Structure 1
Amino acid sequence: MTTFAIICPPYYSHLRLFEALAEELLSRGHAVHFVVNAGAGAMIEAKGEGLGVHEVGRRSREDLARLTARAVGGGRPMSVLRTVRDSARLTDELCREAPDLCRSLGVEAILGDQMEPAAGLVADHLGLPLASIASALPVHDDPTVPLPFLDWPYDPSEAGLKRNRGGVMVAKLLLARQRKTIARWAERFGLPGRASLADCLSTTCQISQLTESFDFPREASPVRHAVGPIRRAHSDDKPPPLRHAPDRPLVFVSFGTLQGHRLRLFRKIAGACKRLGADCVVAHCGRLTERQAGTIDARLVTDFVPQRAMLAQADVCVTHAGMNTVLDALEAGKPMLAIPMAFDQPGIAARIVHHGVGERLTRGHLSEASIAACLERLLTQASFGQNAARIGSDIKGSGGVRLAADIVEATAGREERREGHDSNGRQ
């Protein structure tokens, strides 16, 4: 059996993915240790014999909450720069303390979130097998595919390739703080030539929650594995909080755990539903007060609902284009109105449009009228639901957490620590 360390950012959806994978590995007899930034330990809900949770750094839970709150500001340049700065600080904490901690725990392989470069740096420094796992859109180097945080359409023409190269150049400027942190620790660890997030990915095992049918076209690779949603087998098995009225469409609205404070937007969506004679269910994930929630004119406004059960009832999903909600909607065969706000959400929204499973609105073009027009098309044009159901069928048969665990086990068993080399064959 293998002793794994998990290194990932302190974000709710990222931790839930790794909790699902950890519990699957624990059930197979492995040991799993979460190595997270201080303040994140209390967020971990996974249970099982052989599970450990270890914090690094001196950050309080309140400090971490403030950092997370800054990350939801959106895609504006200043917000991006603040998020990059904060992320670099988290990486610095992990690189400083995780190596000695992993040694003391007897860690034999590392499972790293693709968005946390410390996972790859620490694994290579210690000569340990590494599986890079994408909670968000995968960070694969591919000149035909726009960077994950861009809403650009897929365009493999020379014009599209030129545009993508320009995006990479701009990203290098925006990510300068992260690149400096990676390069500094790479030098300390004796790992020359590392400066970008992509440089910190495993060269033998990269796992994403996508299916090929929902991604942009990519060249086949033995390193990349699209396994579908990585979630607990028993997650979200409760019944929905209401029944679908057969004479009225039902629109489910969720902006995830970080964006559920968008009160004015919830009001506009509820108003658009009213124009169409549709029922509206809003899940704000605990980000609104009871008084604020009471100002939304919807059939139901609540903190959390069993999302998959709710989507099975709904006709359309309005989403921030977060990975989990989008995959759940596709699995249910439901079309989406995407309103991306931050992180990789613009890239996911671009895939929603590319595959004809929904429409997208930017925050600069949001009104009751524009939202109602999109919802009306999604409710009346059958192709949206048909395309979603086709991809949903692929998701249902994708393998999920069990397949991810199979791949991780194979990677850990295949890699060997070699004196003077790391697990990825670099010297």
Structure 2
Amino acid sequence: MSGFLFVVPPLTGHINPTVGVAAELRARGHRVAWVCADARLVRGLAGDDAEVFACAGAPEGSRPPELRGPEALRFLWEWYLLPLAEAMAPGVRMAVAEFRPDVVVADQQAFAGALVAERLGVPWATSATTSAEFTDPLSGLPKVREWLDERLADLRATIGDPAGTTDPRFSPHLVLAFSTPELAGQRAGVRWAGPSIAARPSPSEFPWEWLDAGRATVLVTLGTANTDVGGRFLDVCRDALRERADRVQGVIVDPGGTLGAPGDDKDVLVVASVPQLALLERGVDAVVCHAGHNTVCEALWHGVPLVVAPIRDDQPVVAGQVADAGAGVRVRFGRVGARKLGAALDTVLDEPDCRTAADRIRTAFRAAGGARAAAVHLDELAREL
């Protein structure tokens, strides 16, 4: 029996993929625990019995919505990822001392996991919950890369092994990617597990009786971290859906209530949350989203094509992957109008090429093994070291 300590940021999209992997490891008789700044969030996704070690976190801060490209990346690192690593490090050290893991499984954006494990001499694996880092997003931006390398070196000197040289985003032992080359492209040295899709608690009751079996269903969601910038885009989506109400019905997820109080609308259902996996399983014909890695992978796991409107962070890279694979259409989040968004919807709903590509990725995802394959790789790593 081995022990696996998952070090994750307090972000739903980064915890979700670990839930199924942890369940598979426990089924094999292994010990499993998490380190996270939000124990309630982990237990809400993994179950009340999840063992979670506390650590400090860092506020993400309010990012100016106009930030894009290198400036948005710099803000993410300087004001969230690097402070998060420094804040988490003491809690990670205490968790390692108490839990005594054989392997630390460090989220690719939870640098404290990798660097503390390096300093303490504990083998560690990378949990890549987004494939964006595999595409070299800093290609052509040498000044940004130099700045980032300097910040990582400073961070290693503070919480890691000063003599270490490994990039904390890429373990020399094992890099687990929750995607496949059919979507993300080839990358040497990566174990492609495919999406880790596991049952999770439903956030709310959903009015299943509202759905009309005679019309296509479109799900619109911007994930859990974009309520501050999504109002205009959701309004555009509602307009485009209403224009196609003779053949399309829409479900819009609006956790921030930016569209106002939900009314009695037979064509567009506005709700604060949805049981996304259950809805996709029941039958969704297209997804409109921000190109968040989890949402994209969950849609393609079900063979559902997408309209992707990336906002920030890794989303432009993931949106490019969807478009390049032919599984969806990319639109501009801040500028798209109802006419152009409607045309993108028509493409993914009516033209067979997008659905064929989505089905191809669905087949690859399911063949990769998901949570079970990831657990096998981690089990093998623990046995080898």
Please classify the TM superposition score into its range, dividing by the shorter chain length. 0.7 to 0.9
Summarize the Cα distance change of 1:71–1:404 in structure 2 as closer, same or farther, 3 Å threshold: farther
User: 3-state SS of the aligned residue for 2:179?
Assistant: coil
Q: Which residue of 2 aligns with 1:131?
A: 125
Q: Residue type of the partner of 1:241?
A: W
- 1:228 lines up with 2:202 in the alignment: no
Q: Which residue of 2 aligns with 1:245?
A: 212
Q: Which residue of 2 aligns with 1:272?
A: 240
Shift of residue 216, structure 1, vs aligned partner: 1.9
Q: Which residue of 2 aligns with 1:205?
A: 174
Summarize the Cα distance change of 1:35–1:234 in structure 2 as closer, same or farther, 3 Å threshold: closer
Q: Which residue of 2 aligns with 1:421?
A: none
Summarize the Cα distance change of 1:256–1:265 in structure 2 as closer, same or farther, 3 Å threshold: same
Task: Summarize deviations over 1:167-191 as a string: whole Å, max 9, x none.
Answer: 3x143256367425434236x6243
Q: Is contact 2:132-2:317 (8 Å) kept? A: no
Q: Is contact 2:25-2:31 (8 Å) kept? A: yes
Q: Which residue of 1 aligns with 2:270?
A: 301
Quick one: which of 225, 231, 234 aligns to 1:258?
Answer: 225
Q: Which residue of 2 aligns with 1:185?
A: 158
Q: Residue type of the partner of 2:29?
A: G
User: 3-state SS of the aligned residue for 2:191?
Assistant: strand
Shift of residue 11, structure 1, vs aligned partner: 0.8
Q: Residue type of the partner of 1:288?
A: G
Q: Which residue of 2 aligns with 1:83?
A: 76
- 1:171 lines up with 2:132 in the alignment: no
Q: Which residue of 1 aligns with 2:22?
A: 22
Task: Summarize deviations over 1:28-72 as a string: whole Å, max 9, x none.
Answer: 2222221223xx1221112476x5211223x5xxxx5x5265498
- 1:406 lines up with 2:376 in the alignment: yes
Q: Distance in 2 between matches of 1:24 and 1:322?
A: 25
Q: Which residue of 1 aligns with 2:338?
A: 368
Q: Residue type of the partner of 2:6?
A: I
Q: Distance in 2 between matches of 1:289 and 1:165?
A: 36
Summarize the Cα distance change of 1:92–1:73 in structure 2 as closer, same or farther, 3 Å threshold: farther
User: 3-state SS of the aligned residue for 1:230?
Assistant: coil
Q: Is contact 1:207-1:226 (8 Å) kept? A: yes
Matching of residues 270-419 of structure 1 within 5 Å? 270-277=238-245, 278-284=248-254, 286-288=255-257, 291-294=260-263, 298-312=267-281, 313-415=283-385
Which ranges in structure 1 are unaligned for 5 or more consecutive residues? 148-163, 416-427
- Out of 289-298 and 396-405, give the one that drifted further: 289-298
Q: Is contact 2:180-2:364 (8 Å) kept? A: yes
Shift of residue 397, structure 1, vs aligned partner: 2.5
Q: Distance in 2 between matches of 1:323 and 1:136?
A: 6
Shift of residue 76, structure 1, vs aligned partner: 5.3
TM-score, with length taken from structure 2: 0.87
Summarize the Cα distance change of 1:47–1:377 in structure 2 as closer, same or farther, 3 Å threshold: closer
Q: Residue type of the partner of 2:195?
A: P
Q: Is contact 2:220-2:287 (8 Å) kept? A: yes
Q: Is contact 1:9-1:115 (8 Å) kept? A: yes
Q: Distance in 2 between matches of 1:297 and 1:233?
A: 29
Q: Distance in 2 between matches of 1:240 and 1:412?
A: 45
Task: Summarize deviations over 1:347-400 as a string: whole Å, max 9, x none.
Answer: 110011111111101224311111111112222211111111111122222211
Paired residues, what number?
A: 377
Over the aligned positions, Cα root-mean-square deviation in angstroms equals: 3.0
Q: Distance in 1 between matches of 2:286 and 2:367?
A: 22
Give the % identical residues: 23
- Out of 87-96 and 321-330, give the one that drifted further: 87-96
User: 3-state SS of the aligned residue for 1:210?
Assistant: coil
Q: Which residue of 1 aligns with 2:111?
A: 117
Q: Is contact 1:84-1:177 (8 Å) kept? A: no
Summarize the Cα distance change of 1:177–1:243 in structure 2 as closer, same or farther, 3 Å threshold: farther
Q: Residue type of the partner of 1:91?
A: A
Which ranges in structure 2 are unaligned for 5 or more consecutive residues? none
